[in-house]
Structure 1
Amino acid sequence: MPSYFSPGIYVEEVPAGARPIGPVGTSTAAFVGVAPDRTARLGEALAVNNWTEFLRLYADGDEFESTPLARAVFGFLDNGGTRCWVVNVGEGGALTGNGRQRGGLDLLEAIDEISIVAAPGFHDAVAHEALLSLAERTRTMVAICDPAPDIDDISTLTRVATAGAGRAAKPSEGGDTPASSGGSGGSGGSGGGTTGSSANPTAHRPRQSDFGALYFPWLRVRDPLSGDLVLTPPSGHLAGIWARTDALRGVHKAPANEPVRGAVDLGHLVTRSEHDVLNPRGVNVIRYFPGEGIRVWGARTLAAEASEWRYLNVRRLSIAIEQAIANGTRWMVFEPNDYTLWRSIRRDIGAFLTRVWRDGALLGRTPEEAFFVKCDEETNPADVRDAGMVVAHIGIAVVKPAEFVVFKLSQWSGDTETETIGG
């Protein structure tokens, strides 16, 4: 209590009871690969906010040529992305560190703002495992895996490839891969990871994961550095579409039925029957529709068909809510674990989830139908309090995408008695 020594009016500022929980960003991506200037900024993770900045950092020397990393960053920015982190592993570099020194994907683990991660140019089983492991370890990002460039047999995308013994995933070290074969185009030998490290060369699907997604096929784009038409992995363009959808509609909107800006053709035109095989296995197909162009036509994770995390928007919205609550309730640590704290938890989280519901991300006609927050003596008995913990149970009803729109049509003879419209 303050001390008062003379009569008068005293005004004291006291903190408000409520501490609003704000949303978190979901659109920052990270790309690991080989830069146009192979020696530029090795072993560093640098933020890039526009194409000019990328060129200044990674293509400013006299000797450089385009790579999948460059096309991914350009595709990300062209499709609506605004900020990404880039790691250049150099010619023949590996996706992860060597145990003694952090490198590649390891550099991204300490950057909290990253929500999307990809490794354009790396697409074998070892690379997929490294990406998925990072996403699962952090639980704050979703990995976009690229398929191999030369897949002709669609059935290989339904079988899980396993990483065999051998070196860490690296881009191919040979010469240029012709664009017609689905490689990196005429843009240098850094264009694509080999599939030789896979123990089963007839399998190309990554393993099941709640924190990963796979898109097929590769895209034919105009290279931003050479101007040539080349095939490139889709991860960079898709990361931009995710960011664009988040900005325009919200993270709860599935990033599908969206045009792919910059894509002029596809490496493989997927048929309806092929799509029927790929979609249940979590392979998101990019398709061409006459009159509508090239569109993303899938929004699934690599989770099992029956998993509650099989839709990308459900997974990403849950991550966003978890991160927002974790950040917004950090003030509660070391507070007295009593009824006042429990009431504050219910109030702050309830107010935040009400805003999420109003944005259309949660299913329900009322907030009570859309979510619940329970934090009381039942969730915090004496033994839990003695262990220094406070426990709150939170449930949310996430809106799922209308993946299958079904219209049931039948013939009508027109001779039955019906009420006159407008009568």
Structure 2
Amino acid sequence: MAEYLSPGVFIEESTSGPRPIEGVSTTTAAFVGFAPSGPANTPVFIANWQQFVDTFGTIDASGRKTPFMEGAYLAQSVYAYFNNGGTRCYVVRLVPGEVTSGKKTVEAARSLQLPSRASSAVPSLNIVARGGVQSDVIVEILPATPEAKPDAPQGNQGKGKDAKGNDAKDADSGEGDGLFTMKVTRDGQTERFENVSIGKRHPRNVTEVLTKESTLITIEEVTGAGPLAERVPEVGTYVLQAATNVLTSGGEMNNQDFVGSTDGRSGIESLEIAEEVAMIAVPDLMGAYQRGLLDLDGVKAVQRALIDHCERNANRMAILDTPPDLTPQQVVKWRNVDTNFDSSYAAMYYPWVTIAGPDGRPMTVPPSGFVAGIYARTDIERGVHKAPANELVNGILRPALQISKSEQDILNPIGVNCIREFPGMGVRVWGARTLSSDARWRYVPVRRLFNFVEQSINRGTQWAVFEPNDENLWFRVRRDITNFLTGVWRDGALFGNTAREAFYVKCDAELNPADLRDRGIMQIEVALAPVKPAEFIVIRFSQHAGGGE
């Protein structure tokens, strides 16, 4: 209580009444896969497609930035996520070798610094390959041709005065051997630039000349001091090595590159710090399998680790792809024999989908990115309690395989959610089951509704920690949780004509006896009656004789 030591009027603010519990977001996705550039093995927040391109893209041959990478599906999946209603996600770019070797991998350089004539430790020019470093770029620095003469100084390009009033050597004065010749070779194409200079006001300034004339490289001048002749690049041959695409180069990879570690904050486990993530997809897992870098046991190990991660965090779903090109019968074997997962924190989708690739030609990709976007769209438009099924899939040409009703009859009961095309209805997700054998957790919206409620109440009751553990605290906690769940019920997420039928909250002396209070424990019991999707709608018909009653 405040002390009052002198007369006057004192204003105090007191906290009274309920503390509203805010619902947590359930629309944030996470993607783990390969991209041509960008931060590696750390979750990067992405709010839209252009931000993804800017962060993980590289310059292609046409001079445009692109995030697409041969053999990888990450870019297509992130695009599909935003195109289907997603609003924000985290992206973890994998760099194979960082986890298994225990040290950081040195990636191929994106640029090359040429040493100056004065010292190999002092850079002169920075070479940047147009179109990204997809193949080696060879740069040769040669002396200027004998007939070349430095241009006469122009205007204030000549010598000035130093602090003592003496003639000073201007770095751009053209004194000495300030010219050189550059030869650039890439993929059999050669360019030669005679008698260029790093003098900024020289008529053949190397940066300006290459910007206009070279299709292979651009130049970034390194700011430096000293005479121009000493800053000229040293004569020699230099190589800007191509980046290695592990998916196409036959490089080494194992399942640990995908799984990562919590200590190293890499791979899937790096998402431990991204608490708002509600769903995770690893589309490039199947790309690695297609390229022979992982076998099916490796794929299973990564998916098992992903499910374990989701169960441990208890607030996110694993969206699983099946291996490519499987028939429905092979998918049954993959689900029941090869993997045999049993978890309410995972859902499997089949088949792959056909889209227009970056070059405009059809290509098949895993469906997980599309499904993640539909999860987000359904949550925003209807609520987390609405099944993300019977929803249109945007941005695809067709399913890679047309699934019939009889084929889905064998897939739906084992928890494989199908993507099907219907006449006049387009392509839709036609299933909303988890991989759980427990009927209580059979449906994706039930699992995700509980995730939403649990995380919201968890965050909304943090204020109660270290409060006096008495009946007053129990009443306030009951009141706040009841108010929150009443809102959830009114949104249609809980079953019952009244709030009393839809849920109950208990926090009293019976639940918190003296021995628990002595140990600093306060228990709250919450029970919900979730609504479940109308998966099977049965309409019974019979003949009616007509006439009177």
TM-score by length of 1: 0.84
C-alpha distance in 2 between matches for 1:290 and 1:259:
13
C-alpha distance in 2 between matches for 1:58 and 1:220:
24
Structure 2 residue 354 is matched with structure 1 residue 220: yes
Q: In percent, how many aligned pairs have the same letter?
A: 45
Which structure 1 segments of 5+ residues have no match?
Answer: 163-202, 419-423
* Per-residue deviation, residues 207-229 of structure 1 (Å, max 9, x unmatched): 11110000110011112x33221
Q: Residue 264 of structure 1 aligns with which residue?
A: 397
Matches within 5 A, 1:54-93: 54-62=52-60, 65-66=69-70, 67-90=72-95, 91=246
Contact 1:158 1:205 in 2 (8 A): no
Contact 2:24 2:455 in 1 (8 A): yes
C-alpha distance in 1 between matches for 2:360 and 2:94:
24
Tell me which structure has the larger Cα radius of gyration: 2
Contact 2:261 2:270 in 1 (8 A): no
C-alpha distance in 1 between matches for 2:428 and 2:468:
53
C-alpha distance in 2 between matches for 1:114 and 1:3:
47
Q: Residue 208 of structure 1 aligns with which residue?
A: 342
* Per-residue deviation, residues 73-131 of structure 1 (Å, max 9, x unmatched): 00000000010111111435521226873321011011101001010021431221121
Contact 2:335 2:414 in 1 (8 A): no
SS at match of 2:419: strand
Q: Residue 43 of structure 1 aligns with which residue?
A: 41
Contact 1:157 1:205 in 2 (8 A): no
Which structure 2 segments of 5+ residues have no match?
Answer: 62-67, 96-245, 248-252, 287-298
Q: Residue 131 of structure 1 aligns with which residue?
A: 306
Give the counterpart letter for 2:274 in structure 1: I
* Per-residue deviation, residues 224-266 of structure 1 (Å, max 9, x unmatched): x332211000000000000000000000101110000011111
Output the aligned Cα RMSD. 1.9
Q: Residue 107 of structure 1 aligns with which residue?
A: 270
Q: Residue 369 of structure 1 aligns with which residue?
A: 501
C-alpha distance in 2 between matches for 1:384 and 1:156:
53
Contact 2:259 2:306 in 1 (8 A): no
Give the counterpart letter for 1:131 in structure 2: L
SS at match of 1:82: coil
2:453 aligned residue (294, 315, 321): 321
Contact 1:48 1:84 in 2 (8 A): yes
C-alpha distance in 2 between matches for 1:350 and 1:100:
39
Give the counterpart letter for 1:85 in structure 2: Y
1:56, distance to aligned residue in structure 2 (A): 1.1
SS at match of 1:263: coil
Contact 1:160 1:207 in 2 (8 A): no
C-alpha distance in 2 between matches for 1:402 and 1:161:
24
User: Structure 1 residues 2, 368: closer, same or farther in 2, change over 3 A?
Assistant: same
* Per-residue deviation, residues 45-83 of structure 1 (Å, max 9, x unmatched): 111111111111111244863531111000000000010
Give the counterpart letter for 1:20 in structure 2: P
C-alpha distance in 2 between matches for 1:368 and 1:98:
45
Contact 1:157 1:204 in 2 (8 A): no
2:528 aligned residue (396, 399, 415): 396
Give the counterpart letter for 2:497 in structure 1: R
Q: Residue 301 of structure 1 aligns with which residue?
A: 434
* Per-residue deviation, residues 276-325 of structure 1 (Å, max 9, x unmatched): 11111001011110011100110011111x42111000000100000000
1:12, distance to aligned residue in structure 2 (A): 2.0
Q: Hey, which bits of structure 1, 4+ residues long, moved more than 6 A?
A: none
C-alpha distance in 2 between matches for 1:383 and 1:73:
52
Q: Residue 345 of structure 1 aligns with which residue?
A: 477
C-alpha distance in 1 between matches for 2:270 and 2:2:
49
* Per-residue deviation, residues 163-192 of structure 1 (Å, max 9, x unmatched): xxxxxxxxxxxxxxxxxxxxxxxxxxxxxx
TM-score by length of 2: 0.65
Give the counterpart letter for 1:159 in structure 2: K
Instruction: Report which of the two has the higher share of strand.
Output: 2
Contact 1:50 1:82 in 2 (8 A): yes
Q: Residue 330 of structure 2 aligns with which residue?
A: 156
Contact 1:128 1:206 in 2 (8 A): no
Structure 2 residue 390 is matched with structure 1 residue 283: no
SS at match of 1:95: helix
User: Structure 1 residues 267, 382: closer, same or farther in 2, change over 3 A?
Assistant: same
Give the counterpart letter for 2:467 in structure 1: E
1:383, distance to aligned residue in structure 2 (A): 1.2
Q: Residue 320 of structure 2 aligns with which residue?
A: 145
